[in-house]
Amino acid sequence: MTNSRITPIRTDLAISDLQTQRTELRYKHNIPYLYNSLNIFMQKAGQIHKNLIWHGLPGYNEDMKQEKNLSTNDIILKTLILSSLLVLVLSIRLQAEQEQEKSDEQPYAYLFPAKFRKLTQHLQREDIKVRELREDIELDVEVYRIDRIVRDKKQGKEHRSFRLRTEHRQEKKRFKAGTILVKTDQKPSDKINELLAPTTKKKTIIRKLIRRLKAAEDYPIVILNSYVPITHGPVCPLEEERRFDKPITFETIYDPNDKVSFRGSPVSGLTWFQDGEHYLQVRDGRQYKVHAESGRSVLFFDPNELTEGLKSLPTIDEKTAESISKRIRLTMNPDRTAVLIDHENDLYYCTLDGKTAVRLTSTPEREELCSFDPNGTFVAFARDKDLYVVDIATQTERALTTDGGGLISNGQADWVYYEEIYGRRQKTYWWSPDSSAIAFMQFDDGPVNEFAVINNTDKKQKVEETPYPRAGEPNPNVRIGTVTTAGGPVRWVELDNYLEGTYLITGAGWMPDSKKIFFFVQDRTQTWLDFNTASKRGGQSTHLFRETTEAWIDVPDSPNFLPDGSFLLFSERTGWKHLYLYDKDGELRHAVTKGEWNARQLEHVDEEDSLIYITGTRDSHIAGNLYRVKIDGGKIKRLTKAPGDHRINISPNGRYFIDTWSNDSAPAKVTLYGINGKKIRTLDTNPVYNRQEYRFGTYEQFQIEMTDGFLLEASLLKPADFNRNKKYPVWFMTYGGPGSPTIRNTWSGGRARDHMLAQMGMLVFRCDPRSASGKGACSAWTAYKQLGVQELKDIKEAIEWLNDKPYVDDDRIGMSGHSYGGFMTAYALTHSELFAGGIA
């Protein structure tokens, strides 16, 4: 061996036993295979040609020139050495390329704490879009640990840079609302990575923007590698990019191109799943199933799968299928596995996975008021004023009624019931809990006089006649019956105790066992209410009890039945709305809540612990709170703490509630709480930064004491440049209708319209007369049989109170209102001399 440079390696490899010709031949014959394998490996790895590497190896060229002088063992040994070196070099190069590829892969976003305000502003000035989380959320992120901070001393002091030596790990981490989010799918992406990536060279600017970088600590910027649906929004704009003290003008509120919303965009429409641990939320235009406590979400269904299912139907093309699949609001079956589609006046059914898609109806007439049965096997609907069901599995359609049409309508309210009784809802049929039958109302408008209405929605106006009962004229005749989903005759409930045409059926539903229905009957003036039941087979009804008050009775919510057959029902019998417990036979057991406040709504019943959760006005007549009380009554506990109005959504399992809260100075915020009132997670901060740029006046809410001691709720808005030494005209607004307050401790979109008027140089005054105050039915009853009288008395006293202010010009007071407020404006202008003008 003449080349001493490889002799030690040969000795180290210990191949001194290669002595026999057989061994020499075996290795020698494998050399071409090894050479070829190395070539193939190098080519597949995309490396440079082998000669560029091999020729650079020490002693290679010289040895090849003397190849004929080498023994077989030397050739074998040299080949093994070179092969080892090649593998090592290639491994290093491949690893370097993989690291480079990894560093070149763009993460979805970077996250860092809101406290690094200077960094946020620096990014904004670099024209980088910076967002902030509006919710608390748990995310899987890549966290970097600082091992060393290496400074580059070769550069000038002003340009000195440093490099972080880090090690990273995957971590499940909870981020608070306000955390900064910077997506990388924007330009300049290289600038984003240069500034934020933990693995890149850092310039001195970062040390100024992020203080106290230390070894053995986590780098404050973490990486979110892939897309996650998150509730987020723009950060507060830079100060130099904002124009402050902008007026709120008509264009600010109404211009379709330039209008500004001070309401923000708080998350809404959150619908709980039956497990009580998840809710459905629309994020980025898609529906997600969100884990309540963590905020983690999964796509509830893949719109592409739904599209595939729909477009398999001959009457739905691909474009239409895609459009339907992208709808945010879909009619789902009870277990949320399929949707009901109304397309070109026909009904279609499709599972969310797209595996089953069928057409349910095929008629030129339109199907209306569609609904799934509780078991999800049928769909009911109204067509041409008759009721139908269709079996989803067989697409078999069945008419449940056949006498509808003209003046007869089944399960579909006529105008007066739609407008005045059922809260502008036409659906007046009810599925039994076991899906075996439907209860429904029939309306006969035969006795009702027709009223001429001009339809001016088309270019060519036309006169339409519609049944409309004026005061004192006949109402429609109504009755209630049941019919099985299998068809057969309608079983009508006998109402012989009531004179036809003199009564109203103001509510109905099923008992939990599906054997009976309940329904409310009232006289036309609604001075009493009867609670009745009847068998699903029809026939004579059973009268449980009658309720009366000093004036009228508003239609109550449906009763909430308990396992023993007893039920909870609201009543205003004392002049205040409260919850009462009745036994199964309608005997009153006791009041669950009591006092001079309104229990607004029953939110949840915990049957196991005999607790109920209600919203009410016990602590403020102009705001609602959530309360807990035992079913047997007793001490009531407030669960919501912040002053203001709380709208509540309790999970089916009773573990959580979603609280949408606002007050007169703060936009709506959405928060998840445990049922004990302990905060779990912010769902939306809804910051509404643009309101800081506009000129808002001074708004205050207060009470005005009447001569009889009643406290009216009122508010006054003064212009931003208010001068108490000047005289200001006043614009007074009210509604005044019974039980319809306008003074609420809520954000109300920032009251932009009122501020627009104030910036025109006037005071904006609002006041609810006692009938509209929301302070119990007893206050509303003051309008009974004397509409406008007591309201105007209250308004007069309120205006007199206002006129005592030295800055009020009592010769220039105007008034306006809509609906009942329009009536009150006209009444006040014709029955007083308080106002210089009005708009009704």
Task: Tell me the CATH number at 543.
Answer: 2.140.10.30
CA of 666: how far to CAs of 180, 643, 701, 721, in Å? Answer: 22, 11, 14, 22
CA of 455: how far to CAs of 424, 426, 450, 804, 818, in Å? Answer: 20, 21, 15, 48, 22
Q: Looking at residue 21, what is its pLDDT?
A: 35
Q: Dump strand ranges (E) for 73-136.
A: 109-112, 131-133
Structure-block tokens of residue 683: 């769902």
Q: b vs e for 142-174, b when ≥16 Cβ sit within 10 Å of the residue's Cβ?
A: ebbbbeeeeeeeeeeeeeebbebebeeeeeeee
Q: Which of 351, 296, 21, 264 lies closest to 135 in space, CA to CA?
A: 296
Cβ-proximal residues to 119 (8 Å cutoff; 6+ apart), any chain? 112, 180, 195, 206, 209, 210
Put the strands of the sheet holding 611-616 in their side by side order.
Answer: 599-606, 611-616, 625-630, 637-638
Last residue of a domain, one of 84, 103, 122: 103
- Is 450 part of any domain? yes
Question: In this structure, are 184 and 110 located in the same domain?
Answer: yes
Q: Which of 708, 698, 704 lies closest to 799 in space, CA to CA?
A: 704
Question: In this structure, are 69 and 137 located in the same domain?
Answer: no
- Is 492 part of any domain? yes
With the CA atoms of 45, 47, 50 and 51 taken in that order, what torsion angle do they form, in degrees rounded to the nearest 10?
170
Distance CA 510, CA 431 (A): 8
- Please, what is the Cα angle at 16 between 13 and 20, to 5 degrees? 130
User: What is the residue whose two structure tokens read 């989903």?
Assistant: 485
Last residue of a domain, one of 399, 431, 458: 399
Strands 588-591 vs 837-839: parallel, antiparallel or unpaired: unpaired
CA of 508: how far to CAs of 354, 419, 520, 645, in Å? Answer: 37, 17, 6, 31
Measured from the Cβ of residue 138, the count of other Cβ atoms closer than 10 Å reads 15
- Is 416 part of any domain? yes
Task: Tell me the CATH number at 790.
Answer: 3.40.50.1820
Q: b vs e for 446-472, b when ≥16 Cβ sit within 10 Å of the residue's Cβ?
A: eebeeeeeeeeeeeeeeeeeebbbeee
Question: In this structure, are 393 and 406 located in the same domain?
Answer: no
Q: Dump strand ranges (E) for 42-136.
A: 109-112, 131-133
- Is 76 part of any domain? yes
CA of 28: how far to CAs of 35, 64, 517, in Å? Answer: 11, 16, 97
Question: In this structure, are 214 and 338 located in the same domain?
Answer: no
Instruction: Answer yes or no: are the C-beta atoms of 430 and 387 closer than 8 Å.
Output: no
Distance CA 148, CA 209 (A): 19
Q: Which of 621, 493, 504, 510 lies closest to 558 in space, CA to CA?
A: 510
One DSSP character per residue, 283-340 reads ETTEEEEEETTT--EEESS-HHHHHHHHHTSTTS-HHHHHHHHT-S--EE-TTSSEEE
Distance CA 617, CA 601 (A): 10
Phi, psi of 109 (to 5 degrees): -165, 165
Range of the domain at 447: 401-555
Q: Looking at residue 578, what is its pLDDT?
A: 98
DSSP-derived letter for residue 786 is -
User: What is the residue whose two structure tokens read 């029955």?
Assistant: 831
Distance CA 177, CA 672 (A): 13
Please classify residue 700 by burial: count the beta carbons closer than 10 Å to its beta carbon, then call 0-12 exposed, 13-18 middle and 19+ buried.
exposed
Structure-block tokens of residue 468: 């409309």
Instruction: Answer yes or no: are the C-beta atoms of 584 and 567 closer than 8 Å.
Output: yes
Question: In this structure, are 408 and 548 located in the same domain?
Answer: yes
- Is 541 part of any domain? yes
How much is the CA Rg of the chain, to the nearest whole Å? Answer: 38
Task: Spell out, as residue ranges, where the chain has pLDDT lower than 70.
Answer: 1-83, 85-104, 152-164, 200-204, 207
CA 623 to chain centroid, in Å, comes to: 22
Distance CA 547, CA 810 (A): 47
Question: In this structure, are 475 and 493 located in the same domain?
Answer: yes
Strands 491-494 vs 539-540: parallel, antiparallel or unpaired: parallel
Instruction: Answer yes or no: are the C-beta atoms of 524 and 500 closer than 8 Å.
Output: no
Question: In this structure, are 58 and 92 located in the same domain?
Answer: yes
Please classify residue 701 by burial: count the beta carbons closer than 10 Å to its beta carbon, then call 0-12 exposed, 13-18 middle and 19+ buried.
middle
H or E element that contains 121: helix 117-125
Last residue of a domain, one of 367, 399, 431: 399
Distance CA 542, CA 666 (A): 51
Distance CA 692, CA 665 (A): 12
Task: Tell me the CATH number at 313.
Answer: 2.20.25
Q: Is 823 in a helix, a strand, or coil?
A: helix
Instruction: Answer yes or no: are the C-beta atoms of 161 and 149 closer than 8 Å.
Output: no
Distance CA 251, CA 836 (A): 27
- Is 526 part of any domain? yes
Query: Structural domain tally of the chain?
Result: 5
Question: In this structure, are 412 and 504 located in the same domain?
Answer: yes
Question: In this structure, are 452 and 388 located in the same domain?
Answer: no
Question: In this structure, are 718 and 823 located in the same domain?
Answer: yes
Question: In this structure, are 550 and 411 located in the same domain?
Answer: yes
Q: Which of 530, 414, 420, 407 lies closest to 471 in space, CA to CA?
A: 420
Distance CA 112, CA 126 (A): 17
3-state secondary structure string across 199-244:
CCCEEHHHHHHCCCCCCCCECCCEEECCCCCCCEEECCCCHHHCCC
One DSSP character per residue, 349-390 reads EEETTSS-EEE----SSPPEEEEE-TTSSEEEEEETTEEEEE
- Is 664 part of any domain? no
CA 683 to chain centroid, in Å, comes to: 10
Q: Which of 699, 732, 759 lies closest to 824 in space, CA to CA?
A: 732
- Is 225 part of any domain? yes
Query: Which amino acid is residue 711, in one-letter code?
Result: L
Distance CA 796, CA 360 (A): 61
Question: In this structure, are 407 and 549 located in the same domain?
Answer: yes
